[in-house]
Amino acid sequence: MQEDFRLIVDLVTVLAAASFGGLLAAALRLPVLLGYIFGGIVVGPTGLGLIKELIQVETLAQFGVAFLLFALGVEFSLKQLNKVRAIALGGGTLQVLLTIALTTAVSVLVGWVETPTQGIFLGGILSLSSTAVVLRSLMENNETESAQGQVTLGMLIIQDLALGLMLAVLPALDHPESVGIEVIKALSVTALFAGGAIAAGIWLIPPFLRWVASTESRELFLLSVIVLCLGIALLTEQLGLSIEMGAFVAGLMISEVEYADQALTYVEPLRDVFATLFFAAIGMLIDPVFLIQNWELILSLVAIVMLGKFLIVVPLVSIFRYPLRVAIFAGLGLAQIGEFSFVLASEGQKLGLVSRRVYLLILGTTAVTLMVTPFLLKATPQILQLLEKVPFLQAWMNKLDMPQELSANAEELHDHVVVCGYGRIGQGIVSLLQSKGYPVLVIEESESKLQMLRSQNIPYLYGNCASPFVLEKAEIDQARSMLIAISDPIATRLAVQRAIAISPEIDIVVRAKKDADIDTLYQLGAKEVVHPTFEASLELTTHLLLCLGESTNSIQAEIMAVRRSRYANFRPDIACVLPTTALSLLPPPMPETNNKAS
């Protein structure tokens, strides 16, 4: 076969194997990325050996990482990054440094390495977690916008930035006297690049994208975005940083432009294809025979690594005053070795910092932790429920969920409406309720939202609405209704369950993020569950039917029927369940509480 045609055959083979593996995983109700990895193992050099141009396939797979991080940068905008800047910069940096320090100390004492330099290198490998795997799992579980998702992604971003610094100082590890100089040099390059990226993101990128968009050519816009993404990624590579860092920064630069959503829409299909290729390429690096021969040692290393990183991350996140459920989620999400550790391990092997056997052990341990992570993240709600049932853990689990602050104008509220979350939905509802004279208490744990509540003189309680202590402080048993409009599905379910436990008769209206949450929230005790996407469909349908001449009464009857059936018409794969009562109307406001609500 001609060499120039060989690469095409290899790509088709890899993608076909990944597709088959993904379908098999989906049929077994497993994360599809495990199927992609399995497909890579099957067709890789240690499997059937069908891939001949392994280096070229691995090179193309780097596009998958670049597009994944570019899309993450577009979605995870600077405004979002600012929300978790403390835990991202402080916690993320401390996590990397503590992992390196502890790994160095333990590995030298136990005799895993011969020199502290090798221990530092091993610590650098273990400190990195998988942005690609965790991001994919968060997207599949609809957790990217939740508090735990934001914290986990914030710390992952710092790890990705640290990768560039590690690669820069790696050649100097054999010469300890020059490590300090290399670190200063790498930090200087990073600072210069960051400054240039900020300047370009403000003055160059927006007018450039507006000019391209003015051509009204989809092809030109897509090509421009791809060139921008990969061009900046190659620039960071030339500067001694990482391609991944450049792709993420490119996404951040676009995230504040009005064409960000359009850019993301165009890039997402490419991201999905090349990300599949990347996960399959990871599978091709795995030697199943070596894993089988050393399975006891690898499983021991996996347990040590995952438990060790979990025990480092959980206290760090807790120190930054996040609820323990967020800390545990972040600990489980970061308790693996990342795919970028392959890059470090490969470079370390070339420099003689690790032997071939150690390299294969790192590879096998990393592969197993990557395969376990999706299951851990998916099982996190069940893990939290089990931990809460352990008697001696209950007080510790709830320690950081104690109410932090209660505004002065909220101390004498009664017959009030409790609103959990002061985002766009919460703000609109609070405004409407107050305009009609209903007393309102907002539960919020975002400092930026609390500033808004203080400035508007709206009664608030600073804390986690899923905490029983916070709900008791909000006097939920004296409240008339409760609205839950937060983005965290785990906290939403816990808030409903615990509010019902305190006040069984309270009227709870809750927003559902996922279709599967609708029935669960009803079963937990919510009186009404609203799905924003389905409600938008109902409103659009109402407008169309009115324009077509249908009567208002008939339309309202059909809409109410859909709501009573829990949106069954929009969920054909779910059996219709018992109808629920319609949204209860609030009784007239109490005259003596009108002044307190205003």
Q: Give the model's confidence band at 194: pLDDT under 50 very low, under 70 low, under 90 confident, else very high.
A: confident
Residue 71 has pLDDT above 70, yes or no: yes
Residue 459 has pLDDT above 80, yes or no: yes
Residue 147 has pLDDT above 80, yes or no: no
pLDDT digits (tens, 9 = 90+) for 359-417: 888 888 888 888 888 888 888 878 877 877 776 666 666 555 666 677 777 777 788 99
Distance of CA 475 to the CA centre of its chain: 33
3-class secondary structure, 395 = helix
* Residue that is written with structure tokens 């577009």 in the block: 74
Q: Which residues of 409-432 are buried (b: 16+ CB within 10 A; e: fewer)?
A: ebeebebbbbbbbbeebbbebbee
Tell me what pLDDT residue 188 has: 83
Bridge partners of residue 462, in order along the sequence: 405, 444
Give percent above pLDDT 70 in the chain. Answer: 89
Say whether pTM exceeds 0.85.
Answer: no
pLDDT digits (tens, 9 = 90+) for 291-340: 888 888 899 889 999 999 999 999 998 888 777 778 888 999 999 988 77
Average pLDDT over the chain reads 82
Tell me what pLDDT residue 181 has: 78
Residue 179 has pLDDT above 70, yes or no: no
Tell me what pLDDT residue 583 has: 33
In 3D space, the residue among 96, 179, 163, 189 whose CA is nearest the CA of residue 346 turns out to be 163
Residue 1 has pLDDT above 80, yes or no: no
Question: CA of 248: how far to CAs of 55, 232, 278, in Å?
Answer: 24, 9, 17
Q: How far apart are CA 210 and CA 258, in angstroms?
A: 9
Contact 341, 359 (CB under 8 A): no
pLDDT digits (tens, 9 = 90+) for 575-596: 444 333 333 333 444 444 433 3
Q: How far apart are CA 34 and CA 383, in angstroms?
A: 21
417 φ, ψ to 5°?
-105, 125
Q: Give the model's confidence band at 76: pLDDT under 50 very low, under 70 low, under 90 confident, else very high.
A: low
Tell me what pLDDT residue 393 has: 66
DSSP 8-state symbol, 145:
T
Tell me what pLDDT residue 102 has: 93
Tell me what pLDDT residue 397 has: 63
Single-letter residue type at 165: L
Residue 167 has pLDDT above 60, yes or no: yes
Tell me what pLDDT residue 238 has: 84
441 φ, ψ to 5°?
-130, 125
3-class secondary structure, 441 = strand
DSSP string, 56-77: HHHHHHHHHHHHHHHHHHHHS-
Tell me what pLDDT residue 586 has: 37
Give percent above pLDDT 90 in the chain. Answer: 21
Contact 286, 41 (CB under 8 A): yes
Residues contacting 316, CB < 8 A, separation 6+: 91, 94, 95, 98, 327
Tell me what pLDDT residue 177 has: 65
pLDDT digits (tens, 9 = 90+) for 10-36: 889 999 999 999 999 888 877 677 789
pLDDT digits (tens, 9 = 90+) for 206-259: 889 889 988 888 889 889 999 999 999 888 888 877 787 788 888 888 877 878
* Residue that is written with structure tokens 């985002």 in the block: 423
Residue 538 has pLDDT above 80, yes or no: yes
Tell me what pLDDT residue 216 has: 84
pLDDT digits (tens, 9 = 90+) for 493-534: 889 999 999 999 999 999 988 787 888 899 999 999 998 888
Single-letter residue type at 37: I
